[in-house]
Structure 1
């Protein structure tokens, strides 16, 4: 395509860009039809894209070409039509890569600016082919740039234009792949380390509703992507589960760590809305984790692929430890409030760890887990998880152990080193205590005399088994 440069130079900026897109489409179609593997756009074509679409000067003697705001809008409309009319996904993906794959040069800033505007417009006018291409771009690009794109979209639809949130919410049905990648990007962007890095209320409401409507949404990238062992560490996670888990666990302390935040934009009313949202999100994340054993077994990855990394878990525990240390220093919270919020955060951590390990999303031993959590204050449920019969792997290639959540595939057997004693019939059982009703009682022991009953500390929570193939008995705390 290098020979068309001379024909593009006399044209105005919009006409030249439109003509180049037309030739680029033809060039990539011929490239795909040639059967060359892998099909790769040559460097001269990429230089034309930078010069006539991104307007990066070819050399110092070439005057910089600029588009007006109206011309740029017209170019975006032309691009939307170009991708919409091209029926072959391979051609669309190659064209999108030629336009927006980062090259590590000065044109990358122009690429990011044009890409952000194009994706924002595609959301507004429902151009699914562009959203599908953008989903692939988010999978392959350094997370720093993925976060930048997510920030622009949040600003456009949750901050700048009132009432535009429903438009963004429609991507759930328009392009689930893009929606999944968008959730992963925003959970990477908003890490709850400051007020500015806390997700806006509208965004939080949207994500909660998406996952409640379709829990498998957060697994779409994992389900549809061939995974390899050399996944770039700089790319986004293959699922947003880790980021969502981080939100839920840190939220009780992070959202109340600054009195100024509690009083800003909605005050107490906003804070009262946020608590139940994170509680509902926490429950949804646990329910998604409960889907994993069957999925991992079908893929032959149970015990061989960790969707949650130990490094990310260690970073989360470190952040939580810091928040717990800081909580006592905030004078606007009473000591009772601090204790309640701290225990809520630790409860959520314990629940997430238990279900993650039992579902095969987190592969680690109890010893590793105790080492990571050693600095955290005491919490009854966390202590139970660290010392109780949690599923763990000494070697990632071992088969599922006896304490497996999917009893239909792996029958539960008694643990040889932990004989089971009969439960007192009148003693109330805490709802979060993992009981194993199918394990045989030891014949050498006789039942104790019934203990005097005492009022339960939580009478509204009936006793339920923890992991026996029944629905997860977690009740969100507010």
Structure 2
């Protein structure tokens, strides 16, 4: 069938029927034994623009207005149904990346954000796995990925009515998505360039802590499960969230006011199933306690790497990059006349860096210039654990 005949047949259908049929036609064009030709790719993009997102008219010009909110929801429902019914991962990712790759179009990003948020709400594994591949191919630190993740956080992690139990289950149902989601999230918070520093919302911290602590292999999911990509596609390297989590745990003592937060969090009362009307009072964890648990989960993840993956978990350069902020904090203490070797917050920060570096190096998780990393660590304020770690590994090089 020629392009003109294909378009003519689709134009006989009204929206949303034309979008549903267009997905089938796009699959026929792009999925096969060989990589699609440039002409087939161009045809698929034209069909997507005119019949899926309704951005273009029949002459290829931009159509004013695009989809209204109701039509956007109808399209999202069609895409969800298509992805859920697609049993072949390569086919599913081929169509998904064709629909949402590039993403210069803010309308598409808006639709993708709603789609991803709904998939999180419904725990839709097929959709979430496709979103996870999209995050990896776009780059978890790309502006588009960060915007998508911010929208998910806004929809699911700020409300007190959030169902955290459902969110926690995603680590087992869609681990690759969760892994890439965490990698992107760590780029949004606790960045030394932020003035003032931006902290993750407590619900988000609680869920990420649960994910990492309960599943030590989660942070390697994106690397151990290669994305099923279209023929001829260039796979983007999976970046683990471990370096970002090292930064979070190290910076937490410097920026979390433990006394204030403990007063803000009331006890939670929960009903234990099987006990007639009995209520059991459970004290909510403070943010400081969550970061302590997250640090332990991080160390468990680094230990698990030795058995499962190559030394590509933590880039030495990423750890080195967080050290200037620690030195600046120490300098501010000195400027105020404080003793840095007795400042508990600074020492906790240095302890956590030392713990993470020791476990990472001992388990072969670090890649890059390790000598440079150790030299940079040696410029930090005095800390007994760090000195032992530096001396031990400098002798081993």
2:133 to 136, 156, 168: 136
Post-superposition shift, 1:110?
2.2
Per the alignment, residue 81 of structure 2 pairs with: 81
Q: Secondary structure at the match of 1:189?
A: coil
TM-score (norm 1): 0.68
Match of 2:220 in 1: 219
**What CA distance in whole angstroms lies between the structure 2 residues aligned with 1:99 and 1:70?**
19
Q: 1:288 aligns with which of 301, 304, 310?
A: 301
SS at match of 2:217: helix
* Rounded Cα–Cα distance in structure 2 between residues aligned with 1:38 and 1:10: 26
Corresponding residue of 2:153: 154
CA displacement at 1:157 relative to structure 2: 0.3
Q: Tell me, yes or no, if the aligned pair for 2:216 and 2:301 is still in contact at 8 Å.
A: yes
How far off its partner does 1:364 sit?
A: 6.7
> Which residue does the alignment assign to 1:378?
382
Point out where structure 2 has 5 or more consecutive residues left out of the alignment.
228-234, 267-283
Counterpart in 1 of 2:323? 317
Q: Is the 8 A contact 2:242 2:298 kept in 1?
A: yes
CA contact (8 A) 1:185 1:236 kept: no
Q: The residue matched to 2:16 in structure 1 has which SS?
A: helix
Relative distance call for 1:274 and 1:161 in structure 2 (3 A) is closer
CA distance in 1, matches of 2:62, 2:137: 33
Could you report, residue by residue, the CA deviation over 1:100-156 in whole angstroms, capped at 9, with x for unpaired residues? 1116x5xx3222111111111122223211111111111111322222211111111
Q: Which has the larger radius of gyration?
A: 1
TM value normalised by structure 2:
0.80
Aligned pairs, number: 365
Determine the structure 2 residue equivalent to 1:14: 16
| Counterparts in 2 of 1:152 and 1:365: CA distance versus 1, 3 Å | closer
1:60 shift after superposition: 8.9
CA contact (8 A) 1:158 1:203 kept: yes
Aligned to 2:357: 353
1:121 aligns with 2:118: yes
Q: 1:39 to 1:268 in 2, by over 3 A?
A: farther
Q: Residue 312 of structure 1: CA displacement?
A: 0.8
1:246 alignment counterpart: 247
- What are the equivalent positions in structure 2 for 1:61-460 lying under 5 Å apart? 63-102=63-102, 105=104, 108-142=105-139, 143-144=141-142, 145-159=144-158, 162-193=161-192, 194=194, 197-225=198-226, 238-256=239-257, 268-269=264-265, 273-296=286-309, 301=310, 305-326=311-332, 339-363=343-367, 367-388=371-392, 392-393=396-397
Q: Is the 8 A contact 1:248 1:282 kept in 2?
A: yes
Structure 2 SS opposite 1:20:
helix
State the 1:7 CA deviation.
4.2
CA deviations 1:237-259 (Å, max 9, x no partner) are 52111111111011111334xxx
Please provide the CA RMSD for this pair. 3.3
SS of equivalent to 2:187? helix
**Contact 2:334/2:340, CA 8 A, preserved across alignment:** no
Q: Give, in angstroms, the shift of residue 262 of structure 1.
A: 8.3
Deviation at 1:330, TM superposition (A): 8.5
Residue 338 of structure 1: how far off its partner (Å) = 7.7
Preserved CA contact (<8 Å) 2:183 2:244: yes
Q: Residue by residue, what CA displacement relative to the aligned partner does 1:21-75 show, whole Å, maximum 9, x if unpaired?
A: 23224444xx32xx11478751121122123323334679654243222221121
Shift in Å at residue 342 of structure 1? Answer: 0.4
Distance of aligned partners of 1:269 and 1:323 in 2 relative to their CA distance in 1, 3 Å threshold: farther
Question: Secondary structure of 2:240's partner?
Answer: coil
Match of 1:50 in 2: 49
Structure 1 residues 196 and 151: alpha-carbon distance in aligned structure 2, compared to 1, 3 A threshold: farther
Higher helix share: 2
CA 1:322–1:54 in structure 2 vs 1: closer, same or farther (change >3 Å)? farther
Offset at 1:9? 4.5
Q: Are positions 1:36 and 2:34 aligned together?
A: yes
Q: Quick one: structure 1 residues 352 and 18, their matched pair in 2 at CA, closer, same or farther if it must change by over 3 Å?
A: same
> Does structure 2 conserve the Cα–Cα contact (< 8 Å) formed by 1:363 and 1:392?
no
Distance 1:61 1:211 in 2: 48
Gaps of 5+ in 1: 227-233, 394-478
- Once the two structures are TM-superposed, the CA of residue 267 in structure 1 deviates from its matched residue by 6.0
CA contact (8 A) 2:317 2:373 kept: no
